Amino acid sequence: MSRINKNVVLALLTLTSSAFLLFQLYYYKHYLSTKNGAGLSKSKGSRIGFDSTQWRAVKKFIMLTSSQNVPVFLIDPLVLELINKNFEQVKNTSQGSISQCTFFCVPRDFTAFALQYHLWKNEEGWFRIAENMGFQCLKIESKDPRLDGIDSLSGTEIPLHYICKLATHAIHLVVFHERSGNYLWHGHLRLKEHIDRKFVPFRKLQFGRYPGAFDRPELQQVTVDGLEVLIPKDPMHFVEEIPHSRFIECRYKEARAFFQVRDNQMCTCKLKKIAKELLQLAAKTLNKLGVPFWLSSGTCLGWYRQCNIIPYSKDVDLGIFIQDYKSDIILAFQDAGLPLKHKFGKVEDSLELSFQGKDDVKLDIFFFYEETDHMWNGGTQAKTGKKFKYLFPKFTLCWTEFVDMKVHVPCETLEYIEANYGKTWKIPVKMWDWKRSPPNVQPNGIWPISEWDEVIQLY
């Protein structure tokens, strides 16, 4: 009896559990197929993978943009890398028929496109049509940073990001705005209170965690998986820019407050203009050499404190990592009309270059050496051969806009400036002793006399 009972119970259990199991297997299969559906359906049929959600979403999106004249180009790093690797294929398939979906069908959550806002004409109807086509769209707007630098202007908000979802794949349309300094800027993707946090996995977005700045890319038309798209002419250059594209805005509000406290001393304009031109020339020269640099010392302080060149400063200061040093820097500057004024130290230790600009304004280039927990640059007193060391906490580089240029500054600007100028950096000091005033200076011995000829060169 008990045996039979046991059997009955077991049979019942088996029945229910098999029902469950079937249901779960079905569910599990469904789950897997959405996750990497493309991978599973590979290698059968002649047009492989063209039914993947990714491809369909991209195709629909491209149809939409071409019919509505939305000026977009592809910036998705994953796809661009693939395109770059198989560039021949992209070129060849433009005539022949395509048999395999190799680029747009790779499993991923998003495909990123850039929208060239300044070329865009009919902003209005677009959204509605996208929704009619089956996209679910999200628009992220914010105020226009280009107006921030100007006293008390407030404009219509500008679009920064669009995210359009079709089934499980989403198109991330990053709006690129033109900025002074011939670069493209995109904004920070901030979700407003009422926006559904689960709309898409926002964390996986490639763009938008920070504002970003990019060189304006030249574009080319290619056919990728049977779809006509614009991509940057040098896709790898663009992809390489992405991780270092973080952009920080000058603190215009604080700068205005600074000027309100200290009355805006009118015009040492001429000096300011010379310094500005010197900086622009230096930036041009270094960019041509491909040497990354950042605003350092006084110039950096000027940017951070007043979003401008400090009117009474008589030099422009730049920082360069010593590993980026190239011996033709000096020559390049000389060709640009900036003769070398002095050279202190050597590549292995405390290198510092100084070039003579117009009207006694000089360009100082400090080379930075990296240690495990800090960075430093060196200084040398010409008369005594004494060496100094200026210590900085470790920093990374961010883009910013300064005197109509896109330039680097340390992302951790405040730490950088406080190391150099102390907590009282907000108070202008006109008499600055570079050997004694900085809180981060420490003596670093003395150059052996035998080396003086090499490490102290005055012109």
Partner 1 sequence: MDDWKPSPLIKPFGARKKRSWYLTWKYKLTNQRALRRFCQTGAVVFLLVTVIVNIKLILDTRRAISEANEDPEPEQDYDEVLGRLEPPRRRGSGPRRVLDVEVYSSRSKVYVAVDGTTVLEDEAREQGRGIHVIVLNQATGHVMAKRVFDTYSPHEDEAMVLFLNMVAPGRVLICTVKDEGSFHLKDTAKALLRSLGSQAGPALGWRDTWAFVGRKGGPVLGEKHSKSPALSSWGDPVLLKTDVPLSSAEEAECHWADTELNRRRRRFCSKVEGYGSVCSCKDPTPIEFSPDPLPDNKVLKVPVAVIAGNRPNYLYRMLRSLLSAQGVSPQMITVFIDGYYEEPMDVVALFGLRGIQHTPISIKNARVSQHYKASLTATFNLFPEAKFAVVLEEDLDIAVDFFSFLSQSIHLLEEDDSLYCISAWNDQGYEHTAEDPALLYRVETMPGLGWVLRRSLYKEELEPKWPTPEKLWDWDMWMRMPEQRRGRECIIPDVSRSYHFGIVGLNMNGYFHEAYFKKHKFNTVPGVQLRNVDSLKKEAYEVEVHRLLSEAEVLDHSKNPCEDSFLPDTEGHTYVAFIRMEKDDDFTTWTQLAKCLHIWDLDVRGNHRGLWRLFRKKNRFLVSEEATLSHPNFLGATPKGGGSPRSCRTDMRPPPGPRGAGPGSESNLFIDCPEGLENRPNLEGLDFFLGWNAALRVGLAFTQETAVPNPWTGPDGAHMLTQTHSDTLRHWTRPPLSILFVQISKAG
By CB under 8 A, name the binding residues for partner 1: 6-7, 10-11, 13-14, 17-18, 20-21, 24-25, 27-29, 31, 118, 120-121, 123-125, 128, 144, 146-147, 149-156, 178-182, 188-193, 198, 201-203, 208-210, 264, 266-267, 269, 273, 404
Instruction: Find, among 267, 353, 276, the residue nearest to 316 by Cα.
Output: 276
3-state secondary structure of 243: helix
- Classify residue 457 by its DSSP letter: E
Tokens, residue 111: 């495909």
Distance from C-alpha of 178 to C-alpha of 173, rounded to nearest angstrom: 16
**Residue 311 or 345 having the CB closest to partner 1:** 311
Q: Identify which of residues 265 and 442 has a Cβ nearer to partner 1 in the complex.
A: 265
Give CA–CA dist 319/391, Å, rounded. 13
- Closest distance to partner 1 from the beta carbon of 25 (Å): 6
Compute CA 400 distance to the chain's CA centroid, rounded to the nearest angstrom.
Answer: 10
The residue (of 193 and 453) whose beta carbon lies closer to partner 1 is 193
| 123 vs 328 by CB, closer to partner 1 | 123
Shortest gap between Cβ of 66 and partner 1 (angstroms)? Answer: 19
> Is the alpha carbon torsion for 322, 328, 332, 333 positive or negative?
positive
Cβ closer to partner 1: 21 or 446? 21
Q: How far is the CB of 267 from partner 1 (least distance, A)?
A: 7
Least Å distance, CB 29 to partner 1, is: 7
Query: CA-CA distance, 76 to 238, in Å (whole number)?
Result: 10
Instruction: Quickly list H helices, 206-341.
Output: 235-241, 252-261, 269-289, 297-306, 328-335
Q: What is the dihedral of CA 278, 408, 185, 230, to 10 degrees?
A: 100
Nearer to partner 1, 29 or 233 (CB): 29
- For residue 404, count CB atoms less than 10 angstroms from its CB and return exposed for 0-12, middle for 13-18, buried for 19 or more: exposed
Least Å from the CB of residue 5 to partner 1:
12
Three-state secondary-structure class, residue 451: helix
Question: Whole-number minimum distance, CB 293 to partner 1, in Å?
Answer: 22
CB of 240 to partner 1, least distance (A): 22
Q: How far is the CB of 437 from partner 1 (least distance, A)?
A: 30
- DSSP state, 157? -
Residues whose CB is less than 8 angstroms from the CB of residue 34 and which lie 6 or more positions away in sequence, other chains included: 53, 168
Beta bridge partners of residue 356, listed in sequence order: 362
CB of 356 to partner 1, least distance (A): 24
User: At closest approach, how far in Å is the CB of 227 from partner 1?
Assistant: 27
Residues 6+ apart with CB under 8 A from 331: none
Among 16, 2, 29, 120, smallest CA distance to 72 is for 120
Q: Choose between 83 and 407: whose C-beta lies nearer to partner 1.
A: 407
Tell me whether residue 161 or residue 343 sits nearer to partner 1 (CB atom).
Answer: 161
Q: Which is nearer to partner 1, 263 or 373 (CB)?
A: 263
Which CB sits closer to partner 1, 276 or 343?
276
CB of 308 to partner 1, least distance (A): 11
Residue closer to partner 1, measured from CB, 188 or 362: 188
- Three-point CA angle 109, 114, 119, nearest 5°: 155
Q: 3-state SS of 383-442?
A: CCCEEEEEEEECCCEEEEEECCEEEEEECCHHHHHHHHHCCCCCCCCCCCCCCCCCCCEE
